[in-house]
Amino acid sequence: MTQLKFLDKPPRFLFFTGKGGVGKTSLACATAITLADAGQRVLLVSTDPASNVGQVFGITIGNQVTAITAVPRLAALEIDPQAAAQAYRDRIVGPVRGVLPDTVVKGIEEQLSGACTTEIAAFDEFTALLTDSVLTADYDHIIFDTAPTGHTIRLLQLPGAWSDFLAEGKGNASCLGPLAGLEKQRAQYKAAVDALADPKRSRLILVARAQLTTLREVARTHEELAAIGLTKQFLLINGLLPQAETTRDPLAAAIFRREQNALATLPEVLNPLPCDYIELKPFNLVGLAALRKLLADTLPGEGNKEFTHTAIPFPSLSSLTDEMAKDGCGLIMLMGKGGVGKTTLAAAIAVNLAHRGLPVHLTTSDPAAHLSETLNGAMDNPAVDRIDPHVETERYRQHVLETKGAHLDAKGRALLEEDLLSPCTEEIAVFKAFSRIIREAGKKFVVMDTAPTGHTLLLLDATGAYHREVIKQMDSSIVHYSTPMMQLQNPRQTKILLVTLAETTPVLEATNLQADLRRAGIEPWAWIINNSIAATTVRSPLLYQRASNELAEIEAVSTIHAQRYAVVPLLKEEPVGVHELLKLSKSSAVEC
């Protein structure tokens, strides 16, 4: 097998990062097996809230080091963010319980209930593996499936002058609760960030697909991490369709052209990075046999044997749009992990509704918004804009400085300005803009392409905190009132569409997202399975096998997970522009 660059003289720590759906978990597992098979002692760690490492290996792992008995010298650990967050809260609240008044303790617990706390708590456990030699002494390599985000690292790099400021009761710290416990850990966090930035100890592998939007997002990730000292990065392009599959299959040929065009226009900042390419495989990446084949150069071909898979008719996107159009107005939110096509589907739904003469506002809260590229032109209906996180954050920052900051001395104002540099400030600012848009949905359709799942849950968590605060302060004599969370929970006002692919990991993550939404009292209205090969006609042996693999996932969505669903076929050309988006929104599997 040709030596892959990212596996050339690997350091002790390997980190796989990238947007959802690009294959981080499979690649991390395959790398762990490769190193263990070569005689190295390996610990595989998942810091992904929706970890499916155990599912990939076919065993239960959980929040404890578990030997993978089928692979000598390999063990795995799944950090449970919720358990980590609870332990983190207990460590902070425990010492003051019974000492401070119950109302104060309850206030601290409420501050520590957010998604920011969960992210920091998971990082708390993560740093121990980077810095505690006793915990990791038995291993030559520690491989992380999902590296900490630039968001988390920036939080932990904030200067440490919090204690006196918070003790004096000044400021309006957006991350006050989560950050309250950081001071004791600061030395450990600094050691962890230093380890991440040291190429002799750590290697960061950016995983991507050969898609224009995905590569642009990887470029942003590269620059964000490089700016905080993590400069030694490798690029790994996963899931490339082999050219041999294109000879008798027009769809395969179109996919191959699209991928090669994306690679030919690779963002300049990525060009200097060492790069490896992994071919698309025909099988599901579950089980040791499949994982051992993932990093292989090529697979045995089918010779001249020809397969023809005929498109299967499934419920179309137009059937969902027909039902939504009957309401005349409302909020439509598309949610799901990154890389599943939410932006394109949001644009297709909005264009379809506008084509019927209905007033539509199409917007996004995704920092990597691609709506303008997808629509490829300006128009009055739908009205199109985005919640720009930078603009909204600056607006919120100035408001806080002009109100809370006006009453502080120079030292207090300086520390408040430092607090407002926290990434958590962005979530609050975006929430305020989100709330403004929600109010429009009583008069028109508001179609929202949301950020990838983690960001969206942060946004909804902020919505829930606002809801609880309004209810707490509400005069009991007031009968009629409404909060953003109440609107999200009302299926007549809001329709949540979960977008996924017909693959194991995306369906698992959509299922977990649905469970999270249900805990918040929000019931998803429908699922959309995007880019389905089973809903197309193919002749390529590889695509034929992948189409067959999709059927079990589609059946699980239709019979177990979704109240209603639609399947959108994989198209030869990317749906860009109003005309193509209309075709997409009206198409059925048979027509494609």
List 18, 20, 26, 366, catalytic entry: 26
Can you tell me the mean pLDDT for 304-309?
68
Q: Is 373 exposed, middle or buried (0-12, 13-18, 19+ CB in 10 A)?
A: middle
Can you tell me the mean pLDDT for 559-567?
96
> Between these two residues, 584 and 393, which has the higher pLDDT value?
393
pLDDT of residue 438: 81
Instruction: Please choose, from the candidates 129, 128, 45, 49, the residue with its C-alpha nearest in 3D space to the C-alpha of residue 83.
Output: 49
CA 490 – CA 470 distance, rounded (Å): 17
Q: What is the per-residue burial (b if ≥16 Cβ within 10 Å, else e) of 121-136?
A: bbbbbbbbbbbeeeeb
Active site annotation includes 62? no
pLDDT of residue 174: 47
CA 232 – CA 242 distance, rounded (Å): 29
CATH homologous superfamily of 317-389+442-586 equals P-loop containing nucleotide triphosphate hydrolases (3.40.50.300)
Instruction: Please choose, from the candidates 495, 471, 470, the residue with its C-alpha nearest in 3D space to the C-alpha of residue 563.
Output: 495
- Rounded to the nearest 5 degrees, what angle is found at the Cα of 215, between the Cα atoms of 214 and 216? 90
List 18, 20, 21, 336, catalytic entry: 21
CA 507 – CA 499 distance, rounded (Å): 9
- DSSP string computed for 9-41: S--SEEEEE-STTS-HHHHHHHHHHHHHHTT--
Residue reference for tokens 């969370």 = 485
List 17, 19, 20, 24, catalytic entry: 24
List 17, 19, 25, 365, catalytic entry: 25
402 Cβ contact partners less than 8 Å away, ≥ 6 residues apart: none
Residue 49 pLDDT class (50, 70, 90 cuts): low
CA 219 – CA 9 distance, rounded (Å): 25
pLDDT of residue 570: 92
Whether residue 369 contacts residue 445, with contact meaning beta carbons closer than 8 Å, is answered with no
Instruction: Please choose, from the candidates 470, 404, 459, 460, the residue with its C-alpha nearest in 3D space to the C-alpha of residue 426.
Output: 459
Can you tell me the mean pLDDT for 161-176?
44
Whether residue 32 contacts residue 5, with contact meaning beta carbons closer than 8 Å, is answered with no
> Can you give the pTM of this predicted structure?
0.80
Q: Backbone phi, then psi, for 48, in 5-degree steps? A: -85, 125
Residue 170 pLDDT class (50, 70, 90 cuts): very low
Residue 158 pLDDT class (50, 70, 90 cuts): very low
Can you tell me the mean pLDDT for 529-543?
94
Active site annotation includes 23? yes
Active site annotation includes 505? yes
> Which of 143-157, 416-430, 551-565 shows the lowest per-residue confidence on average (mean pLDDT)?
143-157
> Is the per-residue pLDDT at 543 higher than 50?
yes
Q: What DSSP state is assigned to residue 521?
A: T
CA 144 – CA 230 distance, rounded (Å): 15
Q: How many CB atoms lie within 10 A of CB 198?
A: 15
pLDDT of residue 149: 56
Model confidence over 449-505: pLDDT tens digits? 875 555 555 566 666 666 666 666 655 555 555 677 788 888 888 999 999 999 887
Active site annotation includes 21? yes
Q: How much of the chain, in percent, has pLDDT values that exceed 70?
A: 78
CA 311 – CA 590 distance, rounded (Å): 6
Model confidence over 215-241: pLDDT tens digits? 988 898 898 888 877 888 999 999 999
Out of 121-125, 309-313, 371-375, give the one with best mean pLDDT. Answer: 309-313
Helix (H/G/I), strand (E/B), else coil: 396:
helix
CA 418 – CA 165 distance, rounded (Å): 11
Spell out the SS3 assignment of 536-559: CCECCHHHHHHHHHHHHHHHHHHH
Helix (H/G/I), strand (E/B), else coil: 51:
coil
Q: How many CB atoms lie within 10 A of CB 238?
A: 22
Model confidence over 72-118: pLDDT tens digits? 999 998 887 777 778 777 877 888 788 878 777 776 776 676 666 77
The percent of the chain in helix, strand and coil, each rounded to the nearest 5, is: 50, 15, 35
Whether residue 253 contacts residue 573, with contact meaning beta carbons closer than 8 Å, is answered with no
Sign of CA dihedral 363, 369, 374, 375: positive
Question: Within a 13 Å sphere around the CA of 484, how many CA atoms are in the beta-carbon half?
Answer: 19
Same fold, 9-276 and 317-389+442-586: yes
CA 504 – CA 494 distance, rounded (Å): 28
263 Cβ contact partners less than 8 Å away, ≥ 6 residues apart: 210, 237
CA 196 – CA 184 distance, rounded (Å): 20
What is the CATH number that goes with domain 9-276?
3.40.50.300
CA 463 – CA 430 distance, rounded (Å): 10
Active site annotation includes 24? yes
pLDDT of residue 481: 59
Helix (H/G/I), strand (E/B), else coil: 167:
helix
Whether residue 8 contacts residue 232, with contact meaning beta carbons closer than 8 Å, is answered with no
Task: Tell me which H or E stretch contains 319.
Answer: helix 317-325
Active site annotation includes 150? no
> Which of 299-308, 405-414, 562-571 shows the lowest per-residue confidence on average (mean pLDDT)?
299-308
List 17, 18, 19, 23, catalytic entry: 23
> Which of 195-209, 284-298, 524-538 shows the lowest per-residue confidence on average (mean pLDDT)?
284-298
CA 430 – CA 460 distance, rounded (Å): 11
> Is the per-residue pLDDT at 253 higher than 90?
yes
Model confidence over 171-211: pLDDT tens digits? 444 444 555 555 556 677 778 778 888 889 999 999 999 98
pLDDT of residue 364: 83
Model confidence over 112-126: pLDDT tens digits? 766 667 767 777 777
List 48, 124, 419, 461, catalytic entry: 48
Length, in residues, of the chain: 592
Whether residue 41 contacts residue 170, with contact meaning beta carbons closer than 8 Å, is answered with no
Helix (H/G/I), strand (E/B), else coil: 427:
helix
Can you give the residue ranges of every domain in the chain? 9-276, 317-389+442-586
- DSSP string computed for 340-372: S-HHHHHHHHHHHHHHTT--EEEEE--TT--HH
Q: How much of the chain, in percent, has pLDDT values that exceed 90?
A: 34
CA 110 – CA 63 distance, rounded (Å): 25
Active site annotation includes 181? no
pLDDT of residue 289: 85
Whether residue 12 contacts residue 200, with contact meaning beta carbons closer than 8 Å, is answered with no
pLDDT of residue 167: 45
List 321, 505, 511, 587, catalytic entry: 505
Average pLDDT of the chain, as a whole number? 81
CA 302 – CA 298 distance, rounded (Å): 12
Helix (H/G/I), strand (E/B), else coil: 422:
coil
Displacement of CA 529 from its chain's centroid (Å): 17
Residue 590 pLDDT class (50, 70, 90 cuts): very low
Provide the residue type at 127 as one letter: T
Helix (H/G/I), strand (E/B), else coil: 42:
strand
Task: Tell me which H or E stretch contains 500.
Answer: strand 494-501
Task: Tell me which H or E stretch contains 45.
Answer: strand 42-46
Question: Tokens standing for 501?
Answer: 């692919």
Question: Tokens standing for 167?
Answer: 């003790």
Residue 523 pLDDT class (50, 70, 90 cuts): very high
